């Protein structure tokens, strides 16, 4: 029986809910009643037939309930655990080189331009709008080394109502594009300034992340300083790890005394239960065990892994090691900013592993749906607030119409909710995403901030 307390209900919806729990990759609730309170939190999830009773307990008007249409469902908003907002301008291009050359030839020159706040404003506004329309309710962003532009990204996410982790990138080593780096002292001081100023804005949904780019672009001293900053201020941490074999080799040369790539981050206190590391394609089982021990998470970025020919992450093995895992688009190494694309590439990658070894247990679409939602919230340590539909969590949700007029999906006959979800994941796009809610606030259709 729901607990009334003094909650004011601001929104009630009746229809099909699909979401994940730790026990069930896909849970379908048909004819459910979901209420959201004025703080944007889920106040109740009950059966539709309880409408009269609920309306009395919570004091809302039963005729004001939003009835979902046939072919519609609510699902949790998707969580992009790794996206470079600063690389959005060239997404869909420049995919003809492996990682290290790609960084030097395309990425660093573009990121250098974010000294210009006008350019930053253009790119960051577009990426926030696009990802929201694509159903990304939470994004974990890399910005650039520029503090003011990184603060602007936080402001833009807040203005459009997206939940976001934002990182000012740290790098005190760059032998190729020599002007795109900081001194160790600058990197440390600017990280402090970024954190302090972002927190002082009191944006309710935006948090700073300590962001060493990756081991090859940081000295060990800087890594250790950043680990200390994160620890002393209980902050999130993000970086890259073991994406490409040439990179792994370079790390061995640059850090000859360390046991493994994972070991370097661990020694610098950069592996915590608030850490998310992108890729991890080439991690050993021992390294995965260290992730498990420290509570650090991985972000699986399958489009990028394929597009830059980096490797294929064995997600099944990561899950067997009980390492927290979410999905990431990794724009612009990944060419699509859509989490639906990440879902499809994750399924394809798993099938490639099964082609190579028929004993490999292919991921199911239900499992990948969970990675895109609940898994992402766990990877970002935000699962107390978001990731699925639970009383007390924030209402972060997509209203999906699988048969949206003018949309990409033709339904020949009525289908059950599980089939509707599978069709949306494989065939759908933003034309099927009728509304997006973050913390109870409708953010799509987009509002002009």
Candidate residues 46, 243, 383, 422; the one interacting with ligand GUN per rule CB under 6 A:
243
Q: Nearest residue by C-beta to Fe ion?
A: 330
Q: How far is the CB of 286 from ligand GUN (least distance, A)?
A: 22
Distances, alpha carbon 379 to alpha carbons 67, 372, 382, 391, in Å: 33, 10, 8, 21
Q: How far is the CB of 315 from ligand GUN (least distance, A)?
A: 17
Q: How far apart are CA 23 and CA 33, in angstroms?
A: 22
Candidate residues 213, 236, 274, 370; the one interacting with ligand GUN per rule CB under 6 A:
213
Q: Which is nearer to ligand GUN, 243 or 396 (CB)?
A: 243
Q: Which is nearer to ligand GUN, 111 or 367 (CB)?
A: 111
Q: How far apart are CA 111 and CA 108, in angstroms?
A: 5
Q: Taking each helix axis as running N to C, give the angle between helix 184-200 and helix 147-160, from 0 to 180 degrees, rounded to the nearest 10.
A: 30
x/- site string to ligand GUN, residues 308 to 337, per CB under 6 A?
Answer: ----------------------x--x----
- Would you tell me how many other CB atoms lie within 10 Å of the CB of residue 445? 10
Q: How far is the CB of 82 from Fe ion (least distance, A)?
A: 6
**Residues contacting 21, CB < 8 A, separation 6+:** 27, 374, 388
Q: Which is nearer to Fe ion, 9 or 210 (CB)?
A: 210
Q: Is 330 in the site for Fe ion (CB under 5 A)?
A: yes
14 binds, among Fe ion, ligand GUN, none (CB under 5 to 8 A by kind): none
Tell me which stretch binds ligand GUN (CB under 6 A): 99-107, 190-198, 265-273, 371-379.
Answer: 99-107
x/- site string to ligand GUN, residues 65 to 84, per CB under 6 A?
Answer: -------------------x
Q: How far apart are CA 151 and CA 125, in angstroms?
A: 13
Q: Is 274 in the site for ligand GUN (CB under 6 A)?
A: no
Q: How far apart are CA 49 and CA 65, in angstroms?
A: 13
Q: How far apart are CA 5 and CA 68, in angstroms?
A: 27
Q: How far apart are CA 131 and CA 110, in angstroms?
A: 20
Residue that the structure tokens 């990658």 belong to: 349
214 binds, among ligand GUN, Fe ion, none (CB under 5 to 8 A by kind): ligand GUN
Candidate residues 144, 147, 238, 304; the one interacting with ligand GUN per rule CB under 6 A:
304
Q: How far apart are CA 251 and CA 234, in angstroms?
A: 27
Q: How far is the CB of 302 from ligand GUN (least distance, A)?
A: 12
Q: Which is nearer to ligand GUN, 243 or 394 (CB)?
A: 243
Q: How far apart are CA 169 and CA 426, in angstroms?
A: 34
By CB under 6 A, name the binding residues for ligand GUN. Answer: 84, 99, 103, 107, 213-214, 240, 243, 304, 330, 333
């Amino acid at each position: 029986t729901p607990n009334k307390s003094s909650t004011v209900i601001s929104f009630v919806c009746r229809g099909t809910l699909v979401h994940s729990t730790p026990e069930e990759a896909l849970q379908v609730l048909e004819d459910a009643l979901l209420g959201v309170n004025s703080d944007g939190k889920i106040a109740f999830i009950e059966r539709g037939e309880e409408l009269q009773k609920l309306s009395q307990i919570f004091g809302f008007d039963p005729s004001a309930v939003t009835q979902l249409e046939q072919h519609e469902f609510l699902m949790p908003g998707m969580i992009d655990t790794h996206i470079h907002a600063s690389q959005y301008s060239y997404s869909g291009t420049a995919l003809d080189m492996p990682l290290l050359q790609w960084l030097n030839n395309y990425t660093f020159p573009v990121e250098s331009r974010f000294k210009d706040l006008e350019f930053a404003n253009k790119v960051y506004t577009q990426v926030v709008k696009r990802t929201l329309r694509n159903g990304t309710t939470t994004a974990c962003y890399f910005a650039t080394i520029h503090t003011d532009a990184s603060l602007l990204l936080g402001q833009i996410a807040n203005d459009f109502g997206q939940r976001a982790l934002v990182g000012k990138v740290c790098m005190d080593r760059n032998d190729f594009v020599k002007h795109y780096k900081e001194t160790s002292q600058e990197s440390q001081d600017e990280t402090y300034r970024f954190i302090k100023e972002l927190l002082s804005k009191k944006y309710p949904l935006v948090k700073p992340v300590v962001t060493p780019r990756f081991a090859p672009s940081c000295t060990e001293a800087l890594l250790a300083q950043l680990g200390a900053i994160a620890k002393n201020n209980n902050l999130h941490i993000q970086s890259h790890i073991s994406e490409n074999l040439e990179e792994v080799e370079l790390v061995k040369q640059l850090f000859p005394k360390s046991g493994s790539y994972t070991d370097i981050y661990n020694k610098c206190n950069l592996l915590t239960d608030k850490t998310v590391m992108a890729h991890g394609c080439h991690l050993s089982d021992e390294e995965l065990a260290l992730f498990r021990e420290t509570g650090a998470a991985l972000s699986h970025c399958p489009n990028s892994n394929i597009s830059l020919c980096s490797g294929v992450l064995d997600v099944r093995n990561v899950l067997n090691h009980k390492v927290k895992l979410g999905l990431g688009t990794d724009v612009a190494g990944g060419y699509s900013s859509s989490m639906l694309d990440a879902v499809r590439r994750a399924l394809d990658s798993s099938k490639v592993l099964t082609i190579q070894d028929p004993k490999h247990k292919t991921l199911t679409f239900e499992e990948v749906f969970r990675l895109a939602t609940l898994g992402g919230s766990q990877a970002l340590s935000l699962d107390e607030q978001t990731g699925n539909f639970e009383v007390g969590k924030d209402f972060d949700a997509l209203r999906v119409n699988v048969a949206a007029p003018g949309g990409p999906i033709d339904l020949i006959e009525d289908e059950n909710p599980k089939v509707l979800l599978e069709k949306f994941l494989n065939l759908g796009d933003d034309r099927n995403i009728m509304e997006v809610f973050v913390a109870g606030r409708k953010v799509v259709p987009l509002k002009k901030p």
